[in-house]
Amino acid sequence: MMNILYVAPALGVLALVYTWVRSGWVSRQDAGDERMRTIAGYIADGAIAFLRAEYKVLALFALIACAFLGYLGTTGEKSSPVIVIAFLIGAVFSALAGFIGMKIATKANVRTAQAARTSLAKALNVSFSGGSVMGMGVAGLAVLGLGSLFIVFYQLFVVSKGGGANGIEMETALEVLTGFSLGAESIALFARVGGGIYTKAADVGADLVGKVEAGIPEDDPRNPATIADNVGDNVGDVAGMGADLFGSYVATILATMVLGREVVAAGDQFNGLSPILLPMVIAGMGIVASLVGILLVRVKEGGNVQAALNFGNYASVIVSGIASFFIIRWMLPPGELVIGRAGSVPFTSLDVFYAVVVGLIVGTLMSIITEYYTAMGKRPVNSIVQQSSTGHATTVIGGLAVGMESTVLPIIVLAAGIVLSFEFAGLYGVAIAAAGMMATTAMQLAIDAFGPIADNAGGIAEMSELPKEVRERTDILDAVGNTTAATGKGFAIASAALTSLALFAAFMGTANISSIDISNARVLAGLFVGAMIPFIFSALAISAVGRAAMAMVQEVRRQFREIPGIMEGTGRPEYEKCVAISTQAAIREMMLPGAIALIVPIIIGFAFGPEVLGGTLAGVTVSGVLMAMFQSNAGGAWDNAKKSFEKGVLVNGKMEFKGSDAHKASVTGDTVGDPFKDTSGPSMNILIKLMSIVSLVIAPHIAAPERAVAPRPVERPALSLEPKVRYAELAPEATKVLFVLLRETR
Amino acid sequence: MMNILYVAPALGVLALVYTWVRSGWVSRQDAGDERMRTIAGYIADGAIAFLRAEYKVLALFALIACAFLGYLGTTGEKSSPVIVIAFLIGAVFSALAGFIGMKIATKANVRTAQAARTSLAKALNVSFSGGSVMGMGVAGLAVLGLGSLFIVFYQLFVVSKGGGANGIEMETALEVLTGFSLGAESIALFARVGGGIYTKAADVGADLVGKVEAGIPEDDPRNPATIADNVGDNVGDVAGMGADLFGSYVATILATMVLGREVVAAGDQFNGLSPILLPMVIAGMGIVASLVGILLVRVKEGGNVQAALNFGNYASVIVSGIASFFIIRWMLPPGELVIGRAGSVPFTSLDVFYAVVVGLIVGTLMSIITEYYTAMGKRPVNSIVQQSSTGHATTVIGGLAVGMESTVLPIIVLAAGIVLSFEFAGLYGVAIAAAGMMATTAMQLAIDAFGPIADNAGGIAEMSELPKEVRERTDILDAVGNTTAATGKGFAIASAALTSLALFAAFMGTANISSIDISNARVLAGLFVGAMIPFIFSALAISAVGRAAMAMVQEVRRQFREIPGIMEGTGRPEYEKCVAISTQAAIREMMLPGAIALIVPIIIGFAFGPEVLGGTLAGVTVSGVLMAMFQSNAGGAWDNAKKSFEKGVLVNGKMEFKGSDAHKASVTGDTVGDPFKDTSGPSMNILIKLMSIVSLVIAPHIAAPERAVAPRPVERPALSLEPKVRYAELAPEATKVLFVLLRETR
C-alpha cells in the first residue's frame, strides 16, 4: 500500500529532471553577438539584483512569521511547532520556483532573439522551451515538496501514534502541512506585488517619457528606463507568476487533502487514505499530461503559433481528463463514500470524476471567455477602439465598461461550477474540481511564460539593432503571448476562486463551525469589511505604481537633460539608476498590502471568532474575484485596443494607424490598464488565497468548542438575535483593526 | 389611541403646505429680462419634454408590473390584489416628487440668476428656497402617502378582521403597503438611470466638442448642446435625485414597520402598534426638524455659504435626535420589548433611542468622510492634481486609486453601525437607525437640490451675457453645491445600505427563513451572482453614456460644420436636436439595467428559493455599496482636481492654471468621472434597494414552509451538504437566467 505515497514525489522528480535537461539544452543554444550578450547581461544582472534584494527582505519576514507560527504550534492541542519547518520549506521552494523561472527566462530571451534570425519555428522552440522549463520546475517542486513532506508527517504524526485516515492525528499532520502552503503563498504574494510594481513602474515610466515626450520607439537603447522595463518582464511576468501559480497549485492540492480527511473511504486499498492522496496523484498525473502537451507544440515557418499552443494545451487537458477517470476508479473504493462528521449525503467515485470534469470545463470556459473580452477584432476591444476616436476620456470609459461587463459570464460559469461540483461530491467535489483544473498547471505556465520571453527577445533585437525580420518574428510570438497572458489570467482567477472555496470549506471544518449565517449582524459586518479589502489592496498597489512611475519619469527626464549625446546615441544612459529606482520602489511598496493580507484575518479571527472571519473570507473572495476580472480584462482590452492601431484599424469608416490622435488616446487607455492587469489584478488571486490559508492555519486556535455528534446545542432564534456582546471585551481588538486600516489609508 | 395614526399624514400635509406657499414665493420673484426668460423657457421645455417621454414609457411598465402584482396578489394566502393600488399610488407619488422638483428648479434657476444681480444673500435665498420646496415636497408626499395608505389598509385588513399588531392580518396589511414602496423605488430607478444618462450624455458631449475641440467656454450659447446640458441638471440631478431619495425614505420607513410587527410591545397605549408606527412618527417629526433647519439657513454678502448650510443641517440633525428621545419614550412602553417569533433577547425603549443615535452618527460620519475624499485642498484630491502633471493616464490612475481607497473608512463606519444598532435592538435596531438617519431627508434634499439650481443659474447668466459679478456669485454657490452633492451622495449610500439591510431582514422574516448560510454551495453561488450585478449594471450605464455622448459629439460637430455663422454668434444652433438625442438615448438605455434589477430577484427567488435569493441580495448589497462609493468618490475627486486648476494650484513647486497640459489631463479625469459620479454610482443605491423590495414583495410566494414554534425540523450536516437537487426541475429556470444575463452582454 505504501508505494502509492511515493508516486507523487517520483513524478515531481521526473518533472525536475525535465527541467534540468531542457534547461541545459536552452543554455547550449547560440546567445548571439557581443552586443546582444551585453544587453542580455544587463537584464539578467538587474533581475538577479532585484530578486536578491527582495529575498533578503522576505527572509526577515519569514523569521517573524516563524516566531508567530512556532508560538501557535506550541499552544494548540492539534498543532505542532513542526509547522515552522513546513513553512520554511514552502517559502524556500516558492522562492526557488521564481528563481528558476527568472533564470531560464533571462537565458532564453537572448537565445530566442538569435534563433529568430533563422526561423519562426526555431524561435518558438527556444522561447517555449524556456517556458516549459519554468512550468515543469514549478509543478515538480510543488509535487515533490508536498509529497515528501506528507510522507514525513504521516509517519511522524499518524503512523507512529497509530492513527487512521480520518482521525485527529491526521488532522494534526495536515495542519502542519498547511505551513508549506502558507510559506509558498506568502512569498508568492510579495513576489507578485513586488514584481508587479517593479515591471509597471518601469514600463509606465519608460513609455511616458520615451514614447510620448521624446518620441523614440519602444525598447530604444537611448531610453534609460528600457533595461529596467525588460528586467520587469522577468521579475514580474515570469518570477511573480511562477510564484503565484506555485502557490495556487500547492493550496489547491492541500485544501483537497484537508477535505479528504472528512471523506470516509472504507474498503479502499490504501487504509482509507485514498481521498487524501488522490489530489496529489492527480497532480502527478497532470505533470505527465503536461509533458505530452509540451512535446506536441510544434510550428512550421509561417504557421499558426496560437493554434500550435492551443493544440498542445487541449491535448494535455483531454489526457488529464481521461487519465483521472482511471486513477479515480483505481484509487477510490467502488461503493459509496461518505463525507462529513454528521451523516451526510454519500457519493461514488464516479461522482468524484464528474467533479474533476466540471473543473476542467470551468477552466477551459474561463480561458475562452477571457480571450473573447481581450482579443483584437472582437466586439469588446473594437468598442474601445471606436471610443478612442472621441479622445482620452471616452477610451478610458470604454475600457472600464468592458472590464465590468467581462465579469458576467465568468461569474455565471463559476457559480454553475460551484453548484455542480458540490452537487456531485459536496465540498470535496468543489476542491477536487479545482485540483482537476490545476492538474495541467505545468502546461499552462509553459504557455504563459513563453510570452514575456518572446517580449524580451523583441526588446533585445531592437536594442541590438538586429535585422527587421527578426523583430517581425518575435512580434508574432509576442502578440500570441499577449493573448496567452490574458487567458492565463482567466485560468488563474478561476483556480484561485475554486481554491479559496476549498480552503474556505477546510477552514470551516477545522474551525469547527457548521454554518456562516449572513443574517447575523456581525457576520454581515465581516462580509462588508472583507469585500472592502480588495479595494484598498488595489488602491495601494495602483498608487504604488503611480508613485514609482513618477520617480522613474523624473529620473529619465533628468538623464535626457543632463547626459550629453544621449539622444544622438553617443552618450550611454545610466540604466542601473532606473533599475535601482524600480527595485527600491517595489520592495518598499509591497510591504503594506502584503501585511494587510496577513494580519487582517489574524485580527478578525482572534477578536471576533471563526464565524465572523468566515464572513470576511467570503467577502474577500467574492469581491476579489470580481476585481481581479474587472481589472485584468479591462487592462487586457485596452492593451489590444492600442495594438489594433499599431496594425491599422477601421474607425468611423476610416483606417487609423499609429500616431493618429485616436492612437494616442488608446495609449492612455493602455497605460491606465498597465497597473490594473499586471499589478493589482493578478495580486487579487493571491490575496484571496493567502487570507484563506492564514485563516486555515489559525483555525484550530480560534475554533468553536468541540461539539458532540449531530445535534446543535442552542437553537437560533427566528431572526437570529445573538446574545449581546460585551463591548469592554471587544474594544481593544476593534481598536487594533481600526488602527491597521487607518494606517493603510495614510 | 387612533389619533396617533393621523400624526404622520398631518405632518405630511404641513410639508406640502410649505411646498405650496414657498413655491408661490419663488414664482413671484423677478425672472429677469426677455433673453433670460427665453433661455429658461428652452430649459424648462426640454425638461418637461423629457419627463413626458419618460413617464409615458414608465406608464407602460407600470401596467405590466400591475398585471404581475395582481396575479401574485390573488395567489398567496397572505397577499391581496389591493397591492396593485398601493403600487400605482407609489409610482405616481414618486413621479410627482420628481416633477415637483424639476418644476421648481426650472423656475428657481432663472430667478436665482436675476437675484444674483443684487446680492449673494438674495441668490442663496432663491436657490435654497427652490431646494427646500423640493425637499419638503418629497418628504410630504412620502409621509402623507404611507401614512394614509396605512390607515386604509389597517382598517381593511386588520381592524375589520379583528387582528392585532403582531398577527397575520397585520402581515397582510404591511405586505400590501410594500407595493407603495415598490412603485416608488421602480420609478426612482428608471428616473435615476434615465436622468443620469441624459445629463452626462449632454455634459460629456458638450464638453468634448465645445471646450476641447472648438475652444469655447462652458455654457456658451454658441454650443448646440448647452441647453441639453442645462436640461440634464434638472432631469438628472434634481428630478432623478428627488425620486431616489423619495424611494429611500419610503423604503426605510416601510422596512422598519415590517420589522416592527415582530416586536411585541405589550402595554403601550396604542394596542401594541407603537413599534410599527414609530418610524412614521419619527419621519413626521423629521419634517418639523428640517423646517427648523431650513429657516436657520441665512448668509450675509461675503459670508460663508457652506457654513450657513452646515449650521442648518446640524441644527436639524440635533433637533431630530432630541425629539426622537421624547417620542420613543412616549410611544414605546417602559418595560422590555421582545422581538421575533422564537423567544429572543429583549430590549428597552432606551435601546431603540440609542439605535436612532447610531443612525444619526453614521449618516454624519459618512458625509464627513465623503467630503474629505472629494474636497479641494485635501490629500486625496491633491494627489490627483500632482499626478496630472505626468499626463492623462496618471490622472486617471490616481483617481481610480482614490476612489478605491475611499471605501475603507465608510465601510468600517457602516460595519460598526450595523453591529452596534443590532446589539442595541436587533434587526429592528438596524432599521430604526436607518429611519433616524433618514428623518432629516427634507433638509438633506434642500441642500442637495440647491446645487444644480445654482449651476443652472450660472449657465443662464453666461448664456444671457449678464455682468461678470453675477456669474461670480453663482459660481460661489455652485462650488458649495459641488461639495454638498458629494456629501449628499455619502448620505444616500449610507441610507441605502442600512435600508437594504432592513429590507433584507424584513425579507427573511416574510420568507420564513431563519438563516442564510454561505457555506451552502447554492447560497454561495447566489452571493457571487449577486455581487456581479452592480458590475454589469455599471457597465451598461457607463457604456450607455459613452454611446449617447458619441452621438451628441457627432451632432454638435455636424452643426458647427453645417450651420453658417454659428461660431460668430449670428447663426442659431439647433438646441432642440441635441435635447432630442439625449432624451431618446436616456429612454432607450434605461430599460435594460432597470429590467435586470426587477427580473433577477424574481427568477432567482422562484427558481432557487429564498435562501439563495438571500445570498444574492447580500452580494448585491455589499458589492453595490462598494461600487457606489468607489465610483461616486472617484468622480467627485476628479471633478475637484480639475476645479483646483481653474483656481490655480501648486504642482511640483510651480503654480499651474487653466489651459496648462496638467489641466487638460485633469479634464480627462473629470470626464471619466462624469458617468461614474452622476450615472452609475448613484444608481447603485436604488439598485440594491429595489432588488431588496422586489424580493420582499415576492417573499410570501417563495416562502419556506411555515414551521412550528422554535425547534428546527432537520439538523444541518456538519459540512452542510444539501440533498441533491433534481436538475430536470431547475434547468428551465436556469436557462432563463442565463438568457437574460447573456442578453445584457450584447
DSSP A474-535: HHHHHHHHHHHHHHHHHHHHHHHHHHHHHHHHHHHHHHT-S--BTTSHHHHHHHHHHHHHHH
Least reliable range by pLDDT among A261-275, A617-631, A635-649: A261-275
What residues of A are in contact with residue B708 (Cβ under 8 Å)?
Answer: none
Q: Domain-by-domain residue ranges, chain B? A: 2-702
Cβ–Cβ < 8 Å for B262, B340: yes
Given CB atoms, is A595 within the 8 Å cutoff of chain B?
Answer: no
> How many beta-carbon contacts under 8 Å exist across A and B?
353
Helix (H) or strand (E) holding B588: helix B575-608
In this prediction, residue B524 carries a pLDDT of 92
What's the rounded Cα separation, in Å, for the pair A248 and A254? 10
Closest CA to B84 of B93, B76, B74, B94: B74
Judged against a pLDDT cut of 60, whether residue A504 lies above it is answered with yes
What's the rounded Cα separation, in Å, for the pair A452 and B82? 66
Out of A526, A535, A549, closest to residue B626 by CB: A535
What's the rounded Cα separation, in Å, for the pair A81 and A244? 26
**Residue given cell 483521472 in the structure block:** A324
In this prediction, residue B706 carries a pLDDT of 55
Cβ–Cβ < 8 Å for B292, B316: yes
Cβ–Cβ < 8 Å for A515, A707: no
Select from B407, B507, B695 the residue whose CB has the most chain A CBs within 10 Å, as the one to mutate to test that interface.
B407
Given CB atoms, is A418 within the 8 Å cutoff of chain B?
Answer: yes
Given CB atoms, is A671 within the 8 Å cutoff of chain B?
Answer: yes
Given CB atoms, is A329 within the 8 Å cutoff of chain B?
Answer: no
pLDDT tens track for A279-328: 999 999 999 999 999 999 988 777 788 889 989 999 999 999 999 999 99
CA distance A514 to chain B (A): 5
Q: What is the mean pLDDT of residues A140-144?
A: 96
**Residue given cell 468618490 in the structure block:** B633
Judged against a pLDDT cut of 60, whether residue A707 lies above it is answered with no
Judged against a pLDDT cut of 60, whether residue B724 lies above it is answered with no
Out of A262, A505, A626, closest to residue B623 by CB: A626
pLDDT tens track for A520-553: 889 999 999 999 999 999 999 998 988 888 888 8
Judged against a pLDDT cut of 50, whether residue B723 lies above it is answered with no
Burial of B246 (0-12, 13-18, 19+ CB in 10 A): buried
Q: What is the mean pLDDT of residues B115-140?
A: 93
A215: left (phi over 0), alpha (psi -120 to 50) or beta: left
Q: Which residues of A217-236 are buried (b: 16+ CB within 10 A; e: fewer)?
A: eebbbbbbbbbbbbbbbbbb
Q: What is the mean pLDDT of residues A217-227?
A: 84
Amino acid at B48: I
What residues of B are in contact with residue A339 (Cβ under 8 Å)?
Answer: 719, 721
Work out the pLDDT band at A728, boundaries 50, 70, 90.
Answer: very low
Work out the pLDDT band at B344, boundaries 50, 70, 90.
Answer: low
Least reliable range by pLDDT among B49-58, B157-166, B289-298: B157-166
A408·B546 Cβ contact <8 A: no
Judged against a pLDDT cut of 80, whether residue A599 lies above it is answered with yes
In this prediction, residue B730 carries a pLDDT of 46
Given CB atoms, is B419 within the 8 Å cutoff of chain A?
Answer: yes
DSSP B493-535: HHHHHHHHHHHHHHHHHHHT-S--BTTSHHHHHHHHHHHHHHH
Closest CA to A658 of A34, A218, A8, A159: A218
Residue B348's DSSP bridge partners are B336
pTM summary value? 0.90
Helices (H), ranges, A222-375? 226-232, 241-260, 274-296, 305-331, 349-374
Cβ–Cβ < 8 Å for A240, A98: yes
A405·B543 Cβ contact <8 A: yes
pLDDT tens track for B663-682: 989 999 999 999 999 899 98
Select from B378, B394, B736 the residue whose CB has the most chain A CBs within 10 Å, as the one to mutate to test that interface.
B394
CA distance A516 to chain B (A): 5
Judged against a pLDDT cut of 90, whether residue B212 lies above it is answered with no
Grid cell for residue A151: 510522507
If you average pLDDT over every residue of chain B, what do you get?
Answer: 86
Judged against a pLDDT cut of 50, whether residue B483 lies above it is answered with yes
Grid cell for residue B672: 471619466
Given CB atoms, is A626 within the 8 Å cutoff of chain B?
Answer: yes
Percent of chain A with pLDDT over 70: 93
In this prediction, residue A482 carries a pLDDT of 80
- What chain B residue is nearest to A738 in terms of C-alpha separation? B412
Tell which wins on pLDDT, B129 or A503: B129
What residues of A are in contact with residue B546 (Cβ under 8 Å)?
Answer: 387, 394, 397-398, 401
In this prediction, residue B131 carries a pLDDT of 94
Closest CA to A57 of A233, A218, A187, A219: A187
Work out the pLDDT band at B272, boundaries 50, 70, 90.
Answer: confident
Closest CA to A293 of A437, A130, A132, A124: A132
Out of A543, A715, A716, closest to residue B401 by CB: A543
Judged against a pLDDT cut of 90, whether residue A221 lies above it is answered with no
Least reliable range by pLDDT among A562-571, B5-14, B195-204, B372-381: A562-571
Work out the pLDDT band at A409, boundaries 50, 70, 90.
Answer: very high
In this prediction, residue A1 carries a pLDDT of 53
Work out the pLDDT band at A729, boundaries 50, 70, 90.
Answer: very low
Q: What is the mean pLDDT of residues A492-508?
A: 86
Q: What is the mean pLDDT of residues A346-368?
A: 91
CA distance B133 to chain A (A): 36
In this prediction, residue B725 carries a pLDDT of 39
pLDDT tens track for B677-719: 989 998 898 899 999 999 998 988 888 775 433 333 333 333 3
pLDDT tens track for A453-462: 998 899 899 8
Amino acid at A538: S
A521·B418 Cβ contact <8 A: yes
Residue A338's DSSP bridge partners are A264
In this prediction, residue A340 carries a pLDDT of 60
What residues of A are in contact with residue B720 (Cβ under 8 Å)?
Answer: 514-515
pLDDT tens track for B548-590: 888 888 888 888 888 888 888 788 888 888 888 888 888 888 8
If you average pLDDT over every residue of chain A, what do you get?
Answer: 86
Cα dihedral sign, A514-A519-A520-A523: positive
pLDDT tens track for A642-672: 988 988 888 877 888 788 888 989 999 999 9
Out of B542, B623, B745, closest to residue A409 by CB: B745
Work out the pLDDT band at B328, boundaries 50, 70, 90.
Answer: very high
Closest CA to B325 of B272, B293, B285: B285
Cβ–Cβ < 8 Å for A393, A401: no
